Amino acid sequence: MSVRINNKSCNLCGICIDICPGNLLLKKEDKVVIRAPEECWDCAACVKECPTQAIELYLPSEIGGRGATLRAKKEGNERIWACKNPAGEINEYRIKIK
Ligand code: SF4
Ligand code: SF4
């Protein structure tokens, strides 16, 4: 699995680049790209911290079906994880954060 970056939503803040434990994300011209998708270990740190929800993580097919993705956003004291299945249905999971 790996991540997909929607560069139309990206503001080039660089948070994901700083936070990726594998140093896999980098700026290339005016885009953020993943340099070695096969080395991504799906930790979702970049997904969690991206302030514009520009990154989504492909989930293993056993979890959400082939092509299912995961995004995250922060609202107040909650992190909202949104899992989209291949049919486009979204299930949200709200987790309180400190
Ligand atoms: S999911 Fe983790 S390892 Fe993969 S690109 Fe994002 S921060 Fe890096
Ligand atoms: S954290 Fe999100 S908005 Fe910031 S550079 Fe990465 S993809 Fe773009």
Among all ligands shown, which has an atom nearest to the Cα of 14? Answer: 2
Cα–Cα distance, 23 to 73 (Å, whole number): 22
- Distance (angstroms) between ligand 2 centre and the Cα of 82 equals 18
Out of 3.30.70.20, 3.40.630.30, 3.90.550.10, 3.10.20.90, the CATH code matching 3-96 is 3.30.70.20
Distance, CA of 29 to CA of 34 (rounded, Å): 13
Cβ–ligand 2 contact at 12 (below 6 Å): yes
3-state secondary structure of 32: strand
Q: Nearest bound ligand to CA 10?
A: 2
Q: What is the pLDDT of residues 1-50, one digit of tens each?
A: 799 999 999 999 999 999 999 999 999 999 999 999 999 999 999 999 99
Question: For residues 34 and 81, what is the distance between their CA atoms, to the nearest angstrom?
Answer: 22
Residue extents of the structural domains in the chain? 3-96
Question: Which residues does a 6 A CB cutoff place in the pocket of ligand 1?
Answer: 3, 20-22, 24-25, 34, 40-46, 57
Residues 79-95 pLDDT 10s: 999 999 999 999 999 99
Predicted local confidence at residue 64, as pLDDT? 78
Model confidence, pTM: 0.92
